[in-house]
Amino acid sequence: MSQVVRVAIGENFPEIQWPACCPECGTTKSLIRNTSRLGKVKSIRPNLQGGLTMKSEVMYLNYWICPQHAAETRWANRLLEKSPVMHLIRFIFYVGVVFAIGLIFGPRRLETFPDLGSLLALPLIGILGVASLIWARIATSVWPIRFDPDQDVIEIQFRQAPYATRFRVMNREATSAQNTEETPWYKRALLWKVIVIVLFIMFMARLMK
């Protein structure tokens, strides 16, 4: 059963330690280093053009894994990666699935489908894409889910509970509830920054009318 572990990072905490075994099968032989990346939005500020400027940083996690499970975890994490390019690709997948549902359950007759031409590729891409995302969530052994936007904390999902337990033991201080307790949504600084920025932009837009 998979488990999500919150890990505190920063100058006050040592570097993340990883068990010297495969996170999927537990073997300690022929291990290789696998790398997964995770992006974090550091700040959002209004710019002179009336839009928003975002600054971000990327963190790389390097953990031990056997060659047999390294490839599938690498591909799975690439599909689940929270980067602008992958966000766009996943958006295309979801649009394609919506298009496919419309074709299957909509009023259009089957014999009129060829009239759509190359657009017929979109629902196929959507179905295959969403299926691949479902596979990725199942196949990944170590999945860095997200940064906590208000704390120096990352969330990592482990598919195997025993490995997650070993990870917690090796990073006892960084994974303790005291250092990783989640901030309530109404106290999140990023939320209030976005609200203030949106209100400021709306106010400036009304002044310029």
The more confidently predicted of residues 114 and 81 is: 81
The residue type found at 148 is D
Is residue 106 a contact partner of residue 62, using CB atoms and an 8 Å limit?
A: no
Which parts of 81-120 fold into alpha helices (H)?
A: 84-105
Interval 201-205 mean pLDDT: 77
Give the chain's mean pLDDT: 83
pLDDT tens profile 85-127: 888 999 999 998 888 887 777 665 555 556 666 777 888 899 9
Q: How far is Cα 67 from Cα 30, in angstroms, rounded to an integer?
A: 7
Report the pLDDT value the prediction gives residue 195, as an integer from 0 to 100.
80
pLDDT tens profile 27-60: 999 999 999 988 765 555 555 555 555 556 778 8
Look up the pTM and report it.
0.73
Report the pLDDT value the prediction gives residue 122, as an integer from 0 to 100.
85
Q: How far is Cα 142 from Cα 137, in angstroms, rounded to an integer?
A: 10
Structure tokens at 113: 């489908």
Q: How far is Cα 38 from Cα 135, in angstroms, rounded to an integer?
A: 20
